[in-house]
A and B are shown apart, each in its own frame.
Chain A
Amino acid sequence: MTALLQVRDLSKTFGGLKAVRDLSFDVHEGEIVGLIGPNGAGKSTAFNLITCTHPATSGSVRFDGRELLGLTPSQVVQHGLARTFQSASVYGNATVRENVFRGAISKLGTPLLSQLFGTPSSRRRLSEIDAEIDEILDIAGLSEVRDLMAGGLAYGYQKRLGVAIGLATRPRLLLLDEPAAGLNPEECAEFGRFLQRVRSHYRLTLLFVEHHMALVMGTCERIVVLVQGQKIAEGAPDEIRANPAVIEAYLGETEHVSA
């Protein structure tokens, strides 16, 4: 079985700095994969390369057999690969429901004129989208706040809304950039349960960058460790926890760990 996402020899150079060096890994359909590493390891850069937000210097990213590099981010989304942002990224001046609707716009596929005149086919499509939005709001636990302005929501809600917008694009693979950053332990645990719900309901494949070790170890089936732009380890959470190279990267010299 070929992997859903195949990253091969992906590199990015900023001036003289190699932010990502020959990164290769696979993500298979249905998996939850974590991408971890110390600050400045190039995790977010790798994310931006995979989603074509920044152009890669060299390498290849294949999604479902198709090369993504060279596409625009919006084309990548239409191929079924959506992402969320590190900081809560929502449309603050729109309601929660409108936020999710905006995520679904690219899947609408009705021409502008039939939208303007509200033809039966465009209305039918809108009511289908409406049902999908209701379902997403329900899963994200945002049903009660659907008519509130997104800008006024608590941070935890905004982060879930960010994922909800991504879900509305109907992705096969969802990339989450530090979904737990800035959440308190309670919100974080809730977020973990939310991710599980999302995955089982939509049969999604998830790839996420995270600092929060409990969330990573508890949710991920496989982990890729980046240090200074290079992959130093890959494996199940238990293997990663016991890997000397990983321990060294995170805590410095191994002696310090035993000390």
Chain B
Amino acid sequence: MTRHSIFTLAGPSPGGAATHSRGASAVAWLLLAALAIMPLGFSSAFYVHLAILICLNIFIVSGLALVTRTGQLSLCHAAFIGIGAYVSVLSEMRLGLPFLAAAALGTAAAALTAYLLGSAILRLRGVYFVLITFAFGELFRLFMLDAATVTGGANGIAKIPAASLLGYALDTRKLFYCLAAPLALASIGFLAAFFRTAKGHALDAVGENPGLAESSGISVRKSQLFAFTVGSGMAGLGGVLLSRYVGYISPESFSAQVSIAAIIMLVVGGRTSIAGPLIGALIMTPLPELFRGAVQSQNIFYGVTLILILRFLPKGIASLGLMRRLTGERP
């Protein structure tokens, strides 16, 4: 039993975790902690900016990972980010709610919408589900454009006040990073702990063989609805933070492209791994910047990188030997 460690998918009650894997898991957490603290020492504002975006992406993609683990691919993840952002921004700026209450309201609105949408469409499978979620994402974007009196339409909403905790406004990049990084770590920790519980195993069972899961007493519908609600709620909270950090939102900030970018991060990082969202966000967030010297061909490099990863690492970078040793997951 060498594969039990923090990220392990294996048995809910390990017979006896080997010391080797405990070591590996400690190394993994230490690396993560070092990685999380590093940006505080950056002098370049741009690097801190990148670090914040990476953290927000980790959080958002972790939500998507929860949904895809049950075998459903959502193309409206961006819409839930948008719902979180718009609901929290409007309730703070128009209704004067304090930040924390607005954030809770935004997250709850995203989760509730996902619950209602999921109740209606989760009986669809595969490409049909993907198409309907795509349509819902577009519907959301067009609705935000159309309801200009409330949402500002295509002009969006600017001058969004900074997030504030306990009376302190998180109005500098580094202060905001102190909120984003722990949340990103928490999302990884949550997925790691969750997929070791029986409920987590049930979600994996549904994702791998829905027919067998249903005939072993696990309700496919309830499991997928749970994952869709919680995962989309996480997207909502991600949207709350994104709006406070950027200070500006418009319907175009939540287009299908954003959903696809999240899916790409998940696939590149590793769909079936707890570390997938982390690795995907770490690589794909700064990637466009690497190719910035070649603005003309930037998208080509991006595309080639993607094709190479999908061709040679279909289970993502998390399936590499070194990564697996750190995360304790099996191939």
Contacts and interface: CB of A to CB of B under 8 A. Distances in A.
B188 to A, nearest CB: 15
Interface in B6-47: 10-13
B198 A105 contact: yes
A108 B216 contact: no
A180 interface: no
Contacts of A98: 10-11, 201
Given A72-B221, A106-B217, A116-B197, A90 B212 contact: yes
Q: What is the size category of the interface that chain B forms with chain A?
A: 20 to 34
A231 interface: no
A97 B11 contact: yes
A110 B198 contact: yes
A165 B218 CA distance: 12
B119 to A, nearest CB: 14
A105 B204 contact: no
Given A53-B215, A91-B209, A126-B13, A74 B201 contact: no
A24 B213 CA distance: 29
Contacts of A82: 215-217
Which of B201, B209, B215 has most chain A Cβ within 10 Å? B215
B214 A89 contact: no
A103 B216 contact: yes
Which of B11, B194, B219, B220 has most chain A Cβ within 10 Å? B11
A93 interface: yes
Contacts of A165: 212, 216
Nearest to B204: A94
Main secondary structure of the interface of A (DSSP, over half): helix
Interface residues of A, number: 41
Interface string A36-58: 00000000000000010100000
Contacts of B65: none
Given A91-B205, A115-B199, A102 B213 contact: yes
Contact of B12 (A89, A93, A126, A168): A126
A157 interface: no
A51 B211 CA distance: 12
A85 B213 CA distance: 12
Interface in A91-145: 91-95, 97-98, 101-103, 105-108, 110, 112, 115-116, 123, 126-127, 130
B146 interface: no
A105 B215 contact: no
B202 A102 contact: yes
B216 A77 contact: yes
Given A74-B219, A108-B198, A115-B197, A89 B11 contact: no
B217 A107 contact: yes
Given A74-B219, A74-B220, A85 B205 contact: no
B231 to A, nearest CB: 15
A77 B272 CA distance: 28
B171 interface: no
Contacts of A53: 214-215
B289 interface: no
Contact of A77 (B10, B194, B205, B215): B215
B117 interface: no
Contacts of A254: none
A74 B198 contact: no
A73 interface: yes
Contacts of A106: 216-218
A243 interface: no
Nearest to A53: B215
A51 B12 CA distance: 29
A85 B215 contact: yes
Contact of B10 (A72, A92, A95): A95
Contacts of B217: 74, 77-78, 82, 103, 105-107, 169
Nearest to A126: B13
B112 interface: no
Nearest to A114: B197
A72 B216 CA distance: 12
Interface string B217-228: 111110000000
A17 to B, nearest CB: 23
Contacts of A159: none
A73 B11 CA distance: 26
B49 to A, nearest CB: 34
A101 to B, nearest CB: 6
B1 interface: yes
28 contacts: A72-B219, A74-B213, A74-B217, A74-B218, A74-B220, A77-B215, A77-B216, A82-B216, A83-B215, A89-B211, A90-B209, A91-B204, A92-B208, A93-B272, A94-B204, A94-B208, A98-B11, A101-B11, A101-B198, A102-B216, A103-B216, A105-B205, A106-B218, A149-B330, A166-B215, A166-B216, A169-B216, A169-B217
Given A93-B272, A94-B205, A116-B193, 5 more contacts: A90-B212, A94-B204, A105-B216, A106-B216, A169-B216
Ranked nearest first, the 10 interchain pairs of A and B with the lowest CB-CB distance are: A106-B217, A77-B217, A115-B197, A74-B219, A102-B205, A103-B216, A73-B214, A89-B212, A112-B199, A105-B202
